[in-house]
Amino acid sequence: MNKSKNKNNLNSVAKLLDGEINKSDIIQSVHSILKSIGEDTNRSGLQGTPDRIARMYNEVFDGYRTDPKALINDALFEVTYDEMVIVKDIEYSSMCEHHMLPFFGRAHVAYIPNGQVIGLSKIPRIVDMFSHRLQLQERLTIQIADFLEESLDPQGVAVVVEGLHLCSMMRGVKKTNSRMITSAMRRTFLNNKNTRDEFLEHLQRSSKEML
């Protein structure tokens, strides 16, 4: 993976911190959408809807306002450990940038340390940071892998993301059981088949089998 590409990705993340959600614009826009589809914005069930959506957007899109440097902060620790670290079944939810409909599922993240490890809770927070934006699942997968590679400089990183997409479940092809799987492999996970296979075998095992 090109180091300059990784750094550009992190810089683009930092630029997003300058903006804050504009609730008044969202309220006005939702009001216009409701009128445009033929709804009565004055009926009791809809009177508070624009404000509720603005408050919801403030929550589901808080990834735009998350400082990646502050996120990992002092959670990098020097450890003499060079075996695989896996955090699997990380629940996430995001919004598709094409139709602004939700997609959701689980992310599985692994890395092999190169002198330092990251605090356990930080990996799910990294997934949240990137998923709480308008996204494509392909880009989400790459961003998680690139961020860990740039932050940890590990021997390798692997990310697998599974997702159910409402944009294909409730519109278009309307396939309710289809699931999308994306992956990003870096360094030894990409170059060493045995390492990659070990990671994938762990994903196939249930949590009960691992305990």
| Structure tokens belonging to residue 166 | 């409402």
Q: Are the beta carbons of 154 and 187 closer than 8 angstroms?
A: yes
CA 71 to chain CA centroid, Å, is 14
| Active-site residue, selected from the candidate residues 108, 132, 137, 155 | 137
The reply to whether 165 belongs to the active site is: yes
| Active-site residue, selected from the candidate residues 132, 149, 155, 165 | 165
The reply to whether 150 belongs to the active site is: no
| Active-site residue, selected from the candidate residues 39, 99, 116, 202 | 99
Helices (H), 16-158: 23-36, 49-60, 68-72, 122-131, 137-152
Helices (H), 73-136: 122-131
The reply to whether 99 belongs to the active site is: yes
| Active-site residue, selected from the candidate residues 96, 132, 155, 162 | 96
The reply to whether 98 belongs to the active site is: yes
| Active-site residue, selected from the candidate residues 39, 167, 198, 202 | 167
The reply to whether 97 belongs to the active site is: yes
The reply to whether 78 belongs to the active site is: no
| Active-site residue, selected from the candidate residues 28, 47, 97, 138 | 97
| Active-site residue, selected from the candidate residues 28, 47, 91, 98 | 98
Q: Are the beta carbons of 187 and 1 closer than 8 angstroms?
A: yes
Active site members = 96-99, 137, 165, 167
